[in-house]
Amino acid sequence: MTDATRQVETAKPDGALRRLLRRKLAVFGLVLIGLVLLGAIFAPWIAPFDPAEQHFDGLTLEGAPLPPGGVYLLGTDLLGRDLFTRILYGAQTSLIIGVAANGLSLIIGTLVGITAGFFRGWIGTVLMRFTDLMMAFPALLLAICLAAIFTPSLWIVAMVIALVNWVQTARVIYTETSSLAERDFIAAERILGASTGRILFRHILPHLVPTIIVWGTLGISTTVLLEATLSFLGVGVQPPTPSWGNIIFENQTYFQAAPWLVFIPGAAVLLLALAFNLVGDALRDVLDPLQRGRD
Amino acid sequence: MTSTRQTSTADTAAVANSSATVLAVDGLCVSVRSESGLATLVSDLSFTLARGETLAIAGESGSGKSITSLAIMGLLPPPAVRVTGGVIRLGDTALTGLPEGQMRSIRGDRIAMIFQEPMTSLNPVLTVGSQLCEAIRAHEPVSRSAAQARALEALRQVRLSQPEQRMGQFPHELSGGMRQRVMIAMALVLRPEVLIADEPTTALDVTVQREVLDLLRDLQRELGTAIILITHDMGVVAEMAERVIIMRQGRMVETGNVRDIFARPSHAYTRALLDAVPRMGAGASRPSAAHSERKVPVARLDDVSVRYDVRAGLMGRVSHRVHAVERVSFDIRPGETFALVGESGCGKSTIAKAMVGLVPHEGMIDIVGHRVTGGRQAGAFRRAVQLVFQDPMAALDARMRVGDLVAEPLVIHGIGNATEQRKRAEELMILVGLSPDQLNRYPHEFSGGQRQRICIARALALQPQLVIADEAVSALDVSVQAQVLALLRDLQKNFGIAILFISHDMAVVENISDRVAVMFLGQIVEMGTREQVFGDPLHPYTRRLIQAVPLPDPDLKRAPIPRLTGEVASPIHRVGFGPERRQLVDTGDGHLVAMGDR
């Protein structure tokens, strides 16, 4: 009875994309990401001012920044620069950090974790002891060291963040891989004579997708904020280039006098992280065959 | 029993009535809320349970028997599963609709339950003694020392050896049978009126099952507890119960006296269920496979040992070794079914793993002229031997479509192009009794038996000469089990595949095998043809195994088998020491028995 109904349901399987678009929250997340992306790409055309220009009329007579409204849509910062413009340009930096740096750290973490978890033996021991070492070392200190060695640029900062951030992912992926490797279906593959590559990438990796997605979406906000910390310490993105993180940090001391200078970029980070989170959640369900028909 | 009481005088009838029926279930309905509305799990179930009676609720998976027991205990998983109708009455208390606080005081005190898996029902970080005391003190305001004394008494009652020491031990230090005894002690320590035993012996070895069943029966006689025994095993029903309810898809199919139902099942489903039960002796009617002793064996094992190191101490020095398999030799001839039987931990699955190269071994394993080594195996060897696992859901990648899974062996070995592989997958599906248009589905959309068929299809894709079935039907319902066994037999007849059938179930082995080897603690203690081993078991362990099988015949209640006293023998030995080697001697016509044990 149930077999028959199931057959009808799965007779014509929809594409993953179409199933993703059927979820309202996922679409909302996609739209948000799209908006940020468009804002970042078209910043030079959308932005009303130059991000580095210090407006004379951007400050009150006492030298305080202007609140949102009027000519300066979201107000101005301490130096009289237009906040809206800086947020738009800052999106470029933050997207690159949040997506590229975070993506790179996920890839490193997954590769290290999956290799160590599957092979065990001395390879696994060496890799995981190295990971533990990295974990024990203060991430910020390491990032500062790395950033000091290379001349700071956006891409170098992204790389530094990736090199610091992969550790947690590697740990989690390692644990999960080593339990997957013990399961019967992996033993069945070995008995069939499947190559190691096939077992790793066709059978183990798909089972790790939910974890990778969760860590990926969590990583967006942490990497954006890590970049901000680095900028604050002077080893991140160099001023006057704006990023959401360094806008927050530049202005945090004036939080009580000009709260919008912290709230608005903070809200931007939050919304971006939320958007990725919603899409990630939906993606995880859509890619999981066990969740079929529960949309 | 109840009828005699009802005919007595009015005065005693009132007393008898209140004491006779301890639990009454009337029109019970349980439903689960899902996206597609309410789905019924149990519908309109009514029965009564008299004092001191054992009522069996039997049925296959999904029949609603466990849901019924959870409903009585008030343990249905909230909020999705709810009692949607009917009344459950314990004595004068209606349990349905009772607030959780009151239910909690009834649970354990007046109704107790034991589950299938004792390890998961016991708290691993508390000692046996403290868990028992906790159970007592949760219901009765007694002092710690009084609770301790009662706990000790309860452990004695379930005939646990060295009860004083057991009190201080943790669950993982006990064997499966001992743990289930502790569970029974915990359930009975407060003298409940009703004991619900949900598959209490399914996870146990057959000889231990026997002991636990004997124990339950004796305790019931002493304490007068009414037992609801939930089981899928008709043999257990026949041995334990007076009345039985047969359930199917949430409904009662048939109920009555066990003797009547086994002798004259009126419902077609009951008849089918009873027919599907593997019976000892039924295998004799099967024509034994063509004698192929002259042919070259497909697999030859010579002095094979598998040992694991146990490391201890700061430096991680090897202090002990687990002798999982110890100097085992046998061969499997083309087209025959060779069975390895034994209880859990006897090393039978380890042999299977060694034969496919999953665990390293000492000695020689030769499969179709290929020497198995610990490392990667050649493609030709991979094609020659395949393994079918116990749990098909675990053995199939849940994220792949069945079509890809069945065709995967061909892809791995580069046989044919995509269309040919697809076509072969379709053929294989038909071969194992599934439909080719199910290829686009995922494993979880199939039933347990169908999944095992998929695993068999996958194993057959490379046309192996030897299929190792490692407890391949143990996780299946009896009716499905019979079908899968029939499928294996058909495939063997049509393709001449040799099967190494690994099982703990003597009845199944007796039905399917040509030759049998009995394993105990890593060594073979008896080996011969099916007729030799089952017709004339020479080793005491073989006899014990055969005697312990519950028979689906209520008229045949046998005397309890003598219990093995003392500690369970262990395959772990200090480095440099090993188990005493059992020398097999031929008692004539190839019937080998371990010497000295007879």
Residues from chain B contacting residue A3 (CB–CB below 8 Å): 445, 447
Mean pLDDT of chain A: 81
Contact B399/A288, CB-based, under 8 Å? yes
How far is B39 from chain A, CA to nearest CA, in Å?
Answer: 12
pLDDT of residue A106: 93
Q: Would you list the DSSP string of B320-353?
A: EEEEEEEEEEEEE-TT-EEEEE--TTSSHHHHHH
The span from the CA of B218 to the CA of B560, in Å, is 10
Residue carrying structure tokens 């073979």: B524
CB of B360 closer than 8 Å to CB of B308? no
Domains present along chain A, CATH in parentheses: 97-248+257-286 (1.10.3720.10)
Greater model confidence, A287 or B567: A287
- Sequence-ordered list of residues with C-beta below 8 angstroms from that of B533, at least 6 positions apart, any chain: B516, B518, B526, B527, B542, B591
Residues of chain B contacting A191 with CB distance shorter than 8 Å: 356-358, 382, 385-387
Q: Which residue ranges of chain B lie beneath pLDDT 50? A: 1-18, 285, 289-290, 292, 565-566, 598
Give me the DSSP letters along A132-161.
Answer: HHHHHS-HHHHHHHHHHHSPP-HHHHHHHH
Distance from CA of B396 to the nearest CA of A (A): 5
For residue A292, what pLDDT band results from cuts at 50, 70 and 90? Answer: low
Contacts of A291 in chain B (CB under 8 A): none
Q: Which residues contact A118 (CB under 8 A, 6 or more apart)?
A: A124, A177, A178, A181, A196, A199, A200, A204
Q: Compute the distance between CA of residue A237 and CA of residue A244 in angstroms, rounded to an integer.
A: 11
Residue B576 CB neighbours (<10 A): 6
Q: Give the residue from chain B lying closest to A186, CA to CA.
A: B395
- What CA–CA distance (Å, rounded) separates B381 from B359? 16
Distance from CA of A138 to the nearest CA of B (A): 30
- For residue B508, the SS3 value is helix
Tokens 């409204």 sit on residue = A69
Residue B202's Cβ-count burial label (10 Å; 0-12, 13-18, 19+) is middle
Q: How far away is chain A from the Cα of B275, in angstroms, using its nearest Cα?
A: 24
Interface contact B412-A183, CB threshold 8 A: no
Q: What span, in angstroms and rounded, lies between the C-alpha atoms of A119 and A131?
A: 16
Do residues B472 and B389 lie in contact, with contact meaning Cβ atoms separated by under 8 Å?
yes
Nearest CA in chain B to A193: B382
Among A2, A180, A191, A199, the strongest candidate for a mutation testing the B interface, having the largest count of B CBs within 10 A, is A191
Q: Determine the pLDDT at residue B227.
A: 93
What is the distance in angstroms between the Cα of A11 and the nearest Cα belonging to chain B?
Answer: 8
Q: What is the pLDDT of residue B432?
A: 87
Which segment, A90-94, A261-265, B36-40, B516-520, is predicted with the most confidence on average?
B516-520
Closest to A7 in 3D by CA, of B434, B457, B484: B434
A238 SS3 class: coil
Residue of A nearest to B456 (CA): A188
Contact B462 A192 (CB under 8 A): yes
Q: Which amino acid is at B222?
A: E
Which class for B360: exposed (0-12), middle (13-18), buried (19 or more C-beta within 10 A)? middle
Q: Note whether B394 contacts A184, CB cutoff 8 Å.
A: yes
Tokens 């021991």: give the residue: A125
Among residues of chain A, what percentage have pLDDT more than 90?
14
State residue A4's pLDDT score: 40
The residue written with tokens 């696992």 in the block is B389
Instruction: Judge if the upstream peptide bond of residue B79 is cis by omega within 30 degrees of 0.
Output: yes
Q: What is the pLDDT of residue A112?
A: 93
Contact A186, A180 (CB under 8 A): yes
Rounded to a whole number, what is the distance in Å from the CA of A188 to chain B's nearest CA?
Answer: 6
Contacts of A187 in chain B (CB under 8 A): 353, 358, 387, 389, 395
Q: Cβ A191–B444 below 8 Å, yes or no? A: no
**Residue from B399, B444, B466 whose CB has the most chain A CBs within 10 Å, to mutate:** B399
Q: What was the pLDDT predicted at B9?
A: 40
pLDDT for B501 equals 93
- Would you call A185 and B409 a contact, using CB atoms and an 8 Å cutoff? no
Nearest partner of B72 among B88, B56, B60, judged by Cα: B88
A199-202's contacts with Cβ under 8 Å and 24+ in sequence apart are A199/A118, A200/A114, A200/A118
Q: Is the ipTM of this complex over 0.90?
A: no
**Partner-chain contact B399 A190, CB within 8 Å:** no
Write b or e for each residue in A38-69: b if 16 or more Cβ atoms lie within 10 A of its Cβ, otherwise e.
ebbeebeeebebebeeebeebbeeeeebbeee
Burial level of B414, CB count in 10 A (0-12/13-18/19+)?
A: exposed
Contacting A with CB below 8 Å, chain B residues are 35, 353, 356-358, 377, 379, 382-383, 385-387, 389, 391, 394-401, 408-409, 412-413, 437-438, 440-442, 444-445, 447, 455, 458, 462
The mean pLDDT of A176-196, rounded to a whole number, is: 89
Low-confidence winner among A59-63, A152-156, B196-200 (lowest mean pLDDT): A59-63
**Measured distance between the N- and C-terminal CA atoms of chain A, rounded to whole angstroms:** 21
**How far is Cα A110 from Cα A259, in angstroms, rounded to an integer?**
39
Q: Is the pLDDT of residue A111 over 90?
A: yes
Q: Which residues of A touch B383 (CB under 8 A)?
A: 193
Selected for mutation to probe chain A from B350, B390, B408 (highest A CB count within 10 Å) is B408
Query: Which is more confidently placed, A156 or A9?
Result: A156
List residues of chain A with CB under 8 Å from any CB of chain B.
3, 6-7, 10, 13, 183-185, 187-195, 198, 203, 206-207, 288-290, 292, 294
Nearest beta carbon to residue B394 from set A183, A189, A288: A183
Say how far apart CA B37 and CA A5 lie, in whole Å.
15
* Alpha-carbon distance A27 to nearest alpha carbon in chain B (angstroms): 22
Q: What is the pLDDT of residue A7?
A: 39
d(CA B66, CA B74): 12
Q: Is the Cβ pair A192, B412 closer than 8 Å?
A: yes
Helix (H) / strand (E) containing B379: helix B379-384
Q: Could you give the maximum distance between any two Cα atoms of chain B, in Å?
A: 84
Cβ distance of B413 and A193 shorter than 8 Å? yes
DSSP summary character for residue B359:
S
List the one residue out of A218, A215, A249, A217 whose CA is nearest residue A231.
A249
pTM: 0.79
Radius of gyration of chain B (CA): 26
- Nearest residue, CB atoms, A185 vs list B358, B395, B462: B395
- Residue B113 CA to residue B70 CA, distance in Å, equals 9
HSE-CB at A186 with a 13 A cutoff on CA atoms is 19
Q: Do B389 and A187 touch (CB under 8 A)?
A: yes
Residues whose CB falls within 8 Å of the CB of residue B130, separated by 6 or more in sequence, listed in order: none
Q: State residue B6's pLDDT score.
A: 41
Residues near B291 by Cβ (< 8 Å), separated by ≥ 6?
A: none
SS3 for B99-119, per residue?
CHHHHHHHECCCEEEECCCHH
Give residues with Cβ within 8 angstroms of B343, minimum separation 6.
Answer: B205, B206, B207, B208, B504, B520, B545
